[in-house]
């Protein structure tokens, strides 16, 4: 009982610490932007602006030059930049953002360039080149969709582990894998159906979201079940620590990787909530650009979980067979 209480308390405090640490003070860092000099602006102004922006305290942006706004649009859609600053001869400059890539990043850019232009006695207008959908407030729908898939995955695996225990034979292991796969296909399909056809949030993207959802659910579930085979009952708190305590805040939600602490930015896309969130953004808003990394992360979870499940089951089966073969005949008579 004491160990149980201590374990639950550790998870609770870890949850509080992780979430508050990730979101209590969003600070922009290395947001990739392009600077464009509109026709009529003297040569060298854009380059000087890049130098000034890169010299800002805290390095909130990572600036480069671009030839024109056409190139800016291409760079935004291929996710090479997250915004652009167009210097206009009229004195009213344009900030181009892409809130679909993270509404907090777009807001951070607005705040940065409000200060920059005010210091130069210039005005600025904002144009959101790739906005979030009208039914996707602050881009949070993809985050909650991914979280729903993840929760379903680890809850099913935890329930199988707690009720049925670790598989005793390879046949049981393969049966559990088949159950997880079937559940993943079904839950991925229905999660995508709710957001595309029932709510209309991501209309027109049902099939790729179905595939993504199946990958998120299966990767989460099979990794949890693999942990169950490897470490026993400790798999449940470990799965919660990975997917909830670390995975949820590092996924970012409305926050992009450039406004949360570096630790969370580094791990976020490599845990299934973050992989799912980034995968939804890539599918819905960026024509699948950037989908490769989330797909790789989900494949790694699926492979590692499957390897642990089958490997530890096979080892347990061999031990049981050796134990039986070494039992004296009179002990079984």
160 and 297 in a common domain: yes
Domain edge (last residue) among 83, 111, 128: 128
Q: Which of 80, 96, 128 is the last residue of a domain?
A: 128
How many residues belong to the chain? 333
Domain end residue (candidates: 128, 155, 172): 128
Number of domains in the chain: 2
Q: Residue 303 is part of which domain span?
A: 137-323
- Are 145 and 119 in a shared domain? no
Q: What is the pTM of this model?
A: 0.88
Give me 48's structure tokens.
Answer: 């000087």
pLDDT in tens, the chain (333 residues): 777 788 788 878 887 888 888 877 788 899 999 999 999 889 899 999 999 999 999 999 999 999 999 999 999 999 999 999 999 999 899 999 999 988 889 999 999 999 999 888 899 999 999 998 888 888 889 999 999 999 999 999 989 988 887 788 899 999 999 999 999 999 999 999 999 999 999 999 999 999 999 999 999 999 999 999 898 888 888 999 999 989 988 887 767 788 888 898 899 999 999 999 999 999 999 999 999 999 999 999 999 999 999 999 988 888 777 776 665 555 444
CATH number where 61 lies: 3.40.50
Task: State the alpha helices, DSSP H only, in the chain.
Answer: 2-23, 45-54, 69-77, 103-119, 140-163, 170-193, 206-231, 235-240, 247-251, 262-268, 272-285, 292-325, 329-332
- Would you list the DSSP string of 48-88? HHHHHHHTSTT--EEEEE-S-HHHHHHHHHTTS-SEEEEE-
26 touches 104 (CB < 8 A): yes
Say yes or no: 184 and 273 in one domain. Answer: yes
């Amino acid at each position: 009982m004491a160990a149980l209480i201590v374990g639950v308390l550790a998870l609770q405090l870890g949850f509080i610490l992780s979430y508050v640490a990730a979101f209590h003070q969003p600070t922009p860092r290395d947001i990739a932007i392009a600077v464009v000099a509109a026709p009529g602006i003297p040569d060298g102004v854009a380059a000087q602006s890049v130098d000034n922006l890169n010299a800002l305290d805290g390095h909130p942006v990572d600036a480069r030059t671009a030839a024109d706004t056409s190139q800016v649009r291409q760079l935004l859609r291929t996710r090479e930049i997250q915004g652009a600053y167009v210097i206009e001869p009229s004195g009213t400059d344009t900030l181009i953002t892409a809130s679909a890539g993270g509404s907090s990043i777009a807001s951070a850019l607005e705040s940065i360039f409000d200060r920059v232009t005010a210091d130069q006695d210039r005005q600025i207008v904002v144009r959101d080149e790739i906005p979030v959908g009208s039914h996707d407030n602050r881009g949070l729908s993809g985050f909650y969709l991914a979280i729903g898939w993840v929760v379903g995955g680890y809850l099913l695996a935890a329930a199988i582990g707690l009720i049925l225990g670790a598989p005793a034979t390879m046949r049981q292991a393969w049966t559990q894998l088949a159950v997880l796969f079937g559940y993943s296909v079904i839950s991925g399909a229905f999660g995508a159906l709710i957001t595309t056809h029932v709510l209309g949030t991501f209309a027109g993207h049902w099939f790729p979201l179905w595939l993504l959802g199946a990958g998120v659910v299966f990767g989460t579930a099979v990794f949890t079940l693999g942990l169950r085979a490897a470490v026993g009952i400790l798999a449940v708190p470990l799965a919660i620590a990975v997917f909830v305590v670390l995975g949820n805040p590092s996924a970012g939600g409305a926050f992009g990787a450039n406004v949360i602490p570096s630790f969370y930015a580094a791990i976020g896309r490599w845990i299934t909530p973050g992989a799912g969130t980034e995968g939804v953004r890539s599918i819905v808003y960026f024509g699948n650009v950037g989908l490769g990394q989330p797909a790789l992360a989900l494949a790694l979870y699926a492979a590692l979980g499957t390897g642990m499940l089958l490997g530890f089951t096979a080892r347990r089966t061999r031990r049981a067979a050796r134990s039986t073969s070494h039992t004296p005949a009179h002990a079984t008579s």
